[in-house]
Structures are given as C-alpha cells and as structure tokens.
C-alpha cells in the first residue's frame, strides 16, 4: 500500500512537471510590437525613409486562419444581392433576441437619469459640459470642409485633429458621441444647437462630395489601405464618425444624422465589394490587418435600426 502511494505521488509530480515545462516553453504570440505604439507609427508614417518603412511593414500583415473558409463562402454571398438575406440567419438574434420570462433588468435611458447637484459627479458632469460648449463648430469641421473643397472659416484644432494627421476627424466623432450623451443627460439647449450645427456642417460636406464619403482626410488613404501600403488606420477614424452620428440619431433624434450614416455605409459597402470582386476576399482580409476600431459594432447597431441586410453583410467581414 505504501509503495502504491509513493508511485501515485511520483506520477502526480511527473505530470505537474510536464505541465509546468509546457507552460514555460509555450511562447506568447500576442506580444505588442513597435507598431502597436501610436507614437511610433506616427513617426514611421511621417518618415521620408522609404527603406525603413518597407522593413518595418514587411512582416506586419498576417492572413487569418479562416480565410480558406471565407474564400468559398463570402464572395458568393456578398456579390449576389439575392443571397444576402441568408446572412441574417447567422445573426438572427439581432432581430429576434431571446425573450426572458419574468422580471429582468432593463436599460435606463440617459434622458431619465439626473445627477444630484450636490454630488461630485454632477460637478464633473458640468466640467465636461463646459468643455463641450467651449469647442467651436468651424474649428471642429475645418478639415472636413477642406477635404470637400469648401471654404474653411476658423482654424483647425491641433493634436490628433491637425491638418496633416492621418487620424484627423476621429476627435469630431468622439465629440458627436459625447455631446449626444451629454444632451440626453442634461437637455442643455445651447449644446443641442451646437451639436446640430456640427451635424449640418458635416452633411453639407458629404453632399458636396456627392459619393456618400465623409471624412476629414481624402479617400486616397483608403486606396493605400486596400493596396496594403502604410497608412494610419482610416477605418478607425470612420468608425468614430459613424458612431458619433448614430448617437446623434439614437440619443438626440437627429434624423439627418441617420441618413448620413446610411449613405456613408453604402459608400464603404461598394468599396469592400470592389476589392473582393477585383482581387479576392483574402486581399480584403489582408488589408484588415490594421486598426479598424469598432466598425463591426457600429454596423451591427445600424442593422438593428434599419434591418437592411447590406448593413449586416458589411458588418461581418469588416
């Protein structure tokens, strides 16, 4: 009996040793690289040293392991309008969420929540409100107007929004979301007028360009994105703009903002379809090895509002 216990003990120790060895020897494949740093990427993309750029980006793009499955599925589905409805079955819970029996937690609208004026939270909210009211409409949309070829009163903000930043415009998307949430939380009419003016100014830019495209930088950045050339996350910025406009619709009832979102999505739906048609779905996935923000998320939200299968189709491969 004693011998059996000792043998069992040795067996356990051997198994633990093997597991520990495996754990120690297993290499982590999710280690941040230099390209994970926004500051480094900005320095790289701003450099005139083309050799350095090629060396850094040479092994950056990787193809997902499920490309082979999508190769035989996605092109057929995305290119034939009559087949797009079948994609809804993959995400039917978006249209028919599970119903629970009995009482369940429900989301409380920001319109129905107010903070205690004597609380530190209310003071923080007022600080945020003052900041949003301080921002100037012309300065916010300066680069959008420049891209659309319109007159540019005011002066572009600096930082991420400076005219030569490839991420310009994404702060404006954050502003649209923040102002919509703040208005829902306070019903401050001055803020309502200002954020509505920003939406109207952006709409004028979109109409002037006439394609549905709306951004603070030219569409040439997406040409580089699709050609697998160095570019600083254009879809990341577009996601912020789409999300901000959608918040303006859902939280502030701005119907114009929803029309703008749908027109933008039509534009990008056609771009993605052209890449897959002219090249392959693998090429599309290869280009997506770049920071795309929450494009899937905002497109799923849009689909939940419109029920348009095109929005669901684009949400999945983007």
**Span 256-278, pLDDT tens digits:** 999 999 999 999 998 888 888 88
The count of C-alpha atoms lying within 13 angstroms of the C-alpha of 228, restricted to the half-sphere facing its C-beta, is 17
Of 117, 238, 233, 270, residue with least CA distance to 169: 238
Reported as a pLDDT band with limits 50, 70 and 90, residue 207 is: very high
Largest CA distance in the chain: 92
Chain segment 219-245, per-residue pLDDT in tens: 889 888 877 777 888 889 999 999 999
Domain boundaries defined on the chain: 128-315
Q: How far apart are the first and last CA of the chain?
A: 63
Burial of 296 (0-12, 13-18, 19+ CB in 10 A): middle
Residue 199 burial by CB count (10 A; 0-12/13-18/19+): exposed, middle or buried?
buried
- Listed range (174-178, 181-185, 278-282, 310-314) with the worst mean pLDDT: 278-282
- Decide if pLDDT at 18 tops 80: no
């Amino acid at each position: 009996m004693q011998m059996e216990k000792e043998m069992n003990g040795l067996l356990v120790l051997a198994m633990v040793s093997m597991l520990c060895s495996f754990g120690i020897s297993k290499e982590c494949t999710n280690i941040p690289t230099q390209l994970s740093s926004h500051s480094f990427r900005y320095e790289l993309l701003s450099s005139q040293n083309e050799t350095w750029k090629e060396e850094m980006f040479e092994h950056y793009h990787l193809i997902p392991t499920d490309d082979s499955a999508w190769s035989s599925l996605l092109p057929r589905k995305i290119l034939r309008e009559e087949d797009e409805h079948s994609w809804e079955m993959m995400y039917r819970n978006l249209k028919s969420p599970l119903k629970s029996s009995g009482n369940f937690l429900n989301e409380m609208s920001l319109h129905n929540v107010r903070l205690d004026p004597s609380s530190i939270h209310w003071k923080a909210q007022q600080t945020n409100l003052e900041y949003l009211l301080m921002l100037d409409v012309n300065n916010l949309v300066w680069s959008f107007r420049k891209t659309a070829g319109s007159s540019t009163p005011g002066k572009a903000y600096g930082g991420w929004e400076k005219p030569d930043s490839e991420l310009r415009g994404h702060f404006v998307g954050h502003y649209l979301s923040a102002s919509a949430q703040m208005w829902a939380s306070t019903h401050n009419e001055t803020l309502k007028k200002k954020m509505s003016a920003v939406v109207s100014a952006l709409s004028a830019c979109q109409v002037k360009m006439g394609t549905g495209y709306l951004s603070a930088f030219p569409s040439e950045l997406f040409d580089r994105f699709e050609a697998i050339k160095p570019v600083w996350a254009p879809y990341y910025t577009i996601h912020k703009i789409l999300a901000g406009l959608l918040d303006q619709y859902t939280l502030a009832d701005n119907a114009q903002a929803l029309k703008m979102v749908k027109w933008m999505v039509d534009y990008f739906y056609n771009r993605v379809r052209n890449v897959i048609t002219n090249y392959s779905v693998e090429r599309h996935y290869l280009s997506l090895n770049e920071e795309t923000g929450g494009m899937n998320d905002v497109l799923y939200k849009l689909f939940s509002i419109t029920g348009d299968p095109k929005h669901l189709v684009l949400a999945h491969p983007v």
